[in-house]
Each structure stands twice: as structure tokens, then as C-alpha cells.
Amino acid sequence: MSALLSAADHGGDRAAQIAACLRRWKVPATDGADGDRGRILLESRPAWYIQGEAADLGSVTVGSGEPVVLLHGLRCHRQTWDPVIPLLTERREIIAVDLPGFGQSPDLDPGVPRALETAMLWLGSIFTALGVERPHVVGHSLGGLIALRLGQAHLAHSVTALAPAGFWTPAERRYTYAVLHATHYGVRLLPGSALEALVGTAPARAVLTGTLYGRSQARPPQAVAAALRTLQHTPAVKATLRAGRAPGLFTGGIPDVPVTIAWGTRDRILPPRQAARARALIPQARLVPLPGCGHVPMLDAPELIAHTILQATQPGSHSRRPGRRDADSPGRARQSGRRRHPDARRAVSGRHGGGPRGERAVG
């Protein structure tokens, strides 16, 4: 289900190859007012350097408290989390990012392998650059699988996975890919005017989004159209669908990391029975059913998702709290509630990101 979902190869040579490719993503260290590492501000957004050229990384940091990183799913971008973020920011520092090739983040260089190790190294370098030490990680679908793998690598303090990909049978994978291919290529063939007209009718909205949302009729037509348009302008989706067919995307357990797995009871992309397979591999995981929710529960029930995240990331519930590293003391984590530079605390005020409002997610 992802451009990053090739079968994982844990050999040192493979990791070294990926790391060498990712060195083109060079994040310059800067002297921030509060010691933030590797971050500069360009038009109120973090700027990153690729081969010496400034490039936007689609991200937003807002709120205060223990840091929580939000990872979107396939055919999504960070605005997927817009309904949930305001419900979290009084008690958590939220960092939502666009994965490579999604939203506002540049795609990976053609020389970078599209593999889970790439995603882990990429995110690990971003955590370091932002001064975040083992944050809580929350992921949806593709992002849920990446979050679980970050937990395996001890790069996450806790993991919350919403309908994580990769726990399918061969038959379920074929079904999922048939639905994703049909939606992706069907929407790409529609001109904008036809798409707008189709989503203006309730039956067409149900056909186009019934596999994604548990309450598709409740979605406003303009929001559905905006979400579907993201399929027409996301370069990583096609490569994602090509690269995500490998078996064994998640094997083994996640020792010593608290895990919550939540699944919509009306998920028609990744059926909720897959939660039992995830639990079999991660016996300590807490399973949370999401009544009435489809594959994108953040849009079906934002209050329920916010509650689930707050419970899973409860401060003081684990032996060692996540935090941020001081620039002058690389080995010491500072508490995540410490005051940061005011511009860095809110990357974009009001709407949690640079994308058009309403353009959130399709899967």
C-alpha cells in the first residue's frame, strides 16, 4: 500500500545504501532562540535543503506537551488529521508531516529504494533534526504500518496504529489493491468538472467514497471533491501501488513499547478482522474498536480518535517520557512542554498546514 512498502531487508549493506541516498536530504543546523536543532523558518514553515537547494517539507508543529507525530495513509496528506488536531493541542505537541511524495513534501530521489527502511531512516532523521527524542507516533493505514516498524526499531515511545496496512491474507491484499487501483485510476480519468458534478449527488458520493468512510453521506460534497482531487496530484500514489505488493511487511513483535491498535468496524478497505492478526504478532497491544467508522476514522469520528490518542499517549504512563534534545546537550532530553520559539510552535496558524482547507484524505 505504499511507495515505501517493498519487502524489508535488514542487512547492513541495504541500510547503508539507503542512508547514502538520503544524505541528499540535508537539514542545516541553526541557532534557534530556544536551541531548536536543524530547523529554519521559511514563510512560517520549516525549510529543508536537498542538495543545497531549499525545499519545503510538508509539516506542521502545534500545541504543547509530550510530542506526538502523526503519519497519514496512502492517498492522504497531513491535512487528514485536521479534524483531530485541535482536540489534542492543549495537552500534546502535535507534529504532522507529509511523507515523501505526498502533500507538500518532495518525492524521493529515483535512486532511493521505496522500502520501509527508507521511511524509518527518513523519519528518524527528521526526529533528530527537530530535536524530538522517541516521540509518540500515531499512524493511519500506511502510516500505521510505518509507526509499528518505528516501534520495533525503538524510535517511538508509544505507537497508535489506526487500521495499519500489512496484516492481510493474499486474497485480502488482492481485494484491497483492486479497490485502490479502481479508485485511483477512475478518479484520474475524470475531468474536474465531471468530478464536481458527480460528488454533488448522494448516490455518486456513496459509490466513490463508500469504501473509505463509514458515514459517507455525512461528508460535504466539496470536501469529497477536494479529497478525491488529491489522487490526481499526488506523484507517489502510482509508485505506491506498484511497490506495496511484497509479503511480510510486518513480522515479529514490538517488545517494551506500548501499542494501541484501533480499527473501524465498517472499514471496507482493510477489514477489521485483520486486527486479530496484528494482535497475534503483538500480544501486548491494546485493541480498540471504532464503532461505525470506516477506513478513515479521523473524518468519521474525530472526537473518538482524539480520545484514543490521548489515552494511548498519557503522560507519565510509561517509565521514560518522550521529549526534545537540547542543542547544547545531545545526550539529554528536555521536557516536551518547555517553551519553544513562538514562530516554531505554530508552523501555520489557524488551519494546521499549507494545503487548501478541506483537502484531507481519500484513503
Model pLDDT for residues 285-310, shown as the tens digit of each residue: 999 999 999 999 998 999 999 999 99
| Residue tagged 495499519 (cell numbers) | 164
pLDDT confidence of residue 60: 80
On the CB side of 260, CA atoms within 13 Å amount to: 22
pLDDT at 256 exceeding the cut of 70: yes
Which whole number is the average pLDDT over 111-139? Answer: 85
Taking residue 317's Cβ as centre, other Cβ atoms within 10 Å add up to 11
Which whole number is the average pLDDT over 97-113? Answer: 79
- Kindly report whether the global pTM for this prediction surpasses the value 0.85: no
Higher-pLDDT residue of 102 and 16 is 102
Alpha carbon distance 325, 204 (integer Å)? 50
Confirm if 137 and 144 have CB atoms less than 8 A apart. Answer: no
pLDDT at 180 exceeding the cut of 90: no
pLDDT at 346 exceeding the cut of 90: no
pLDDT confidence of residue 263: 98
Convert the pLDDT of each residue in 210-226 to its tens digit. Answer: 677 766 666 677 777 76
| Angle in degrees, CA 141, 98, 100, rounded to 5 | 90
Q: Which band of pLDDT confidence, cut at 50, 70 and 90, is reported for residue 233?
A: low
AA letter at 146: I
pLDDT confidence of residue 198: 74
pLDDT confidence of residue 321: 55
Pull the grid cell for residue 142. 500506511
Strand-pair partners of 92: 66
pLDDT confidence of residue 330: 31
Convert the pLDDT of each residue in 188-199 to its tens digit. Answer: 667 667 777 777
Mean pLDDT of the chain: 72
Q: Which band of pLDDT confidence, cut at 50, 70 and 90, is reported for residue 261?
A: very high
Contacts of 104 by beta carbon, 8 Å cutoff, 6+ apart:
56, 57, 58, 77, 98, 353, 354, 355
Fold held by 1-16+62-316: Rossmann fold (3.40.50)
